[in-house]
Amino acid sequence: MAELVEFAKMNGLGNKILVVDMRGRRDTVTPEAAITLNADAATRFDQIMAIHDPRAQGTDAWIDILNSDGSKAQACGNGTRCVVQALAAETGRKSFTFQTVAGILNAQEHEDGTISVDMGKPVFTWNRIPLSEEFFDTSRIELQIGPIDAPVLHSPSVMSMGNPHAIFWVDRDPMEFDLERFGPLLENHPMFPEKANITLAQVTSDSSLRTRTWERGAGLTLACGSAACAAAVCAGRTGRTGRTVTIDVASSPVRQPLVIDWREDDHVVMTGPAEWEWSGKVDPATGTFTRDEEPCRDEQEAQVN
């Protein structure tokens, strides 16, 4: 068996996360390993957060993010909270600065156990989201699914939080929609050359939303932090809410809400929980893993055979 690295199975509001410690190594978690891990019920995940040695001065780590299909992701707010909880438990520190392909993220663990992540500034320009067609106003674009005279979903707000998002406004509980059917069609719509995260958002008050997300590269997810940020920003941008919004993630088994603050300096700060489940060791090249205090899966198979 190849040299294994430590990892933890965690979740942020039910968003399934694997935090893999790649510090001190030059290799990466491969797409093949990600696909193998996602195929096992024990390690099925939405995102892998691979912690690497820092690349930029003043940062604590470089975070490489993979989706469950092995593709790369630019941002994952729920996963970042999991990384903070894991490193805070290891070091006793409360504040961290991370670098990702989407930029620099500052994060802090609070005394009550919740974690705030500065997700950076939203992007509204059509070619930076990106979209395949030019729209001067991306708070509402022409896109619909369903019959032309009675669309099921239409006129989304679109933006980037380091990754592309489309927010469809609905007038009833997002759980009542067949997002498992519509999600793949919209994620891969020609309007989105780099695909997109698809969120249904119901305004429940002038300071709260209820959301559900089909996540790019991961599918129907229990929660998506960057999508919650995008929904809150788009709600504030279109006058549906103010700039501080409580998000009830409809599909999450955790009833604790996310709080999104779109600050006056244009930064979006997300605050919410993270949860450790179990730990083990994994081969970042193949996805072969062991669970702590359990024999290696290869060894288990050898014993059976």
Distance between CA 254 and CA 275 in Å, rounded? 10
Q: Which residues are catalytic?
A: 76, 224
Please tell me the total number of residues recorded for the chain in this structure. 305
Strands 157-160 and 153-154: unpaired
How far apart, in whole angstroms, are the C-alpha atoms of residue 245 and residue 295? Answer: 46
Of 53, 68, 161, nearest in space to 99 by CA: 53
What's phi and psi for 137, nearest 5 deg? -115, 105
Longest dimension (CA), the chain: 63
Q: What are the b/e assignments for 14-23, b being 16+ CB within 10 Å?
A: bbbbbbbbbe
Whole-number Å distance between alpha carbons of 261 and 248:
14
